[in-house]
Structure 1
């Protein structure tokens, strides 16, 4: 049976979205902005404090509604993110270290925002002591809180119930 042009567009080779229509208009633009923003945050958080793989998965999930390449990348990145999350809560020691790291991020963010005077042991110029103020501090606090939330999620999802 011959396919109509519309069927050929929505049913791409093994596409997860086969038979669904793609967003149009404002919802498409919002989806693109949110998706790319999450991908950029995820890439940055791979090297900076924060849940990089999980933000990357969220961004790819949003972009997968629009792009075939995002659908192809989503599953392998999601597998790696979930494997890392499962490994992070494999033992009580890992959980304690993860929560300690999240708490340190929050405390460092508060310290950064409060901006205490430069200590006598600081070897660099005064302008290099905690630059950025609350803009940097709030980002660190948010990263710590997100990390704690993802740790709780990982414990509930990947830890066997005792």
Structure 2
């Protein structure tokens, strides 16, 4: 195996492991835990085929969680409010110097979290709407 292939493999394994660990942490913290676990598993399964058997069950649960997150107007409103709160907190932490861990490193991570939340919310909503339209037509 050439050096380039080894480097690529190490990078894939490291990225997969990081996504998997962060995803597991986000299972108990607010965030898209199952989707990150799925992404990590997909990367790791590309290098370790024995992990393929875990991909489908995690994919099914992640897609169910994504659909549940937009199953009612109340849940959508709650998610939008959480995203707006993260965005506001990021701006405040970036600009108010008297807060603990103040600065744009903390602020930008909160803002990035809100952007990810809105992107996942939009993706989930479009996915559910597309499925409902297909079911109504078929």
Q: TM-score, normalised on structure 2?
A: 0.81
Aligned partner of 2:108 in structure 1 is 138
Aligned partner of 1:12 in structure 2 is none
Following TM superposition, the consecutive aligned residue runs of length 4 or more in structure 1 with deviations greater than 6 angstroms are none
Aligned partner of 1:53 in structure 2 is 34
Aligned partner of 2:118 in structure 1 is 148
After TM superposition, the structure 1 = structure 2 runs for residues 1-162 of structure 1, keeping only pairs within 5 Å, are 24-117=5-98, 129-159=99-129, 160-161=132-133
Q: Distance in 2 between matches of 1:87 and 1:38?
A: 22
Q: Distance in 1 between matches of 2:102 and 2:27?
A: 21
Deviation at 1:49, TM superposition (A): 3.4
Once the two structures are superposed, residues 10-65 of structure 1 have per-residue CA deviations (whole angstroms, 9 ceiling, x without a partner) of xxxxxxxxxxxxxx423212211211121122123223332111111111111011
> How many residues matched?
129
- Larger radius of gyration between Structure 1 and Structure 2: 1
- Higher relative helix content: 2
Once the two structures are superposed, residues 88-144 of structure 1 have per-residue CA deviations (whole angstroms, 9 ceiling, x without a partner) of 111122112111111111111111121254xxxxxxxxxxx4325322222111111
Deviation at 1:153, TM superposition (A): 0.4
Higher relative contact order (CA 8 A, sep 6+): 1
Gap regions ≥5 residues in structure 2: none
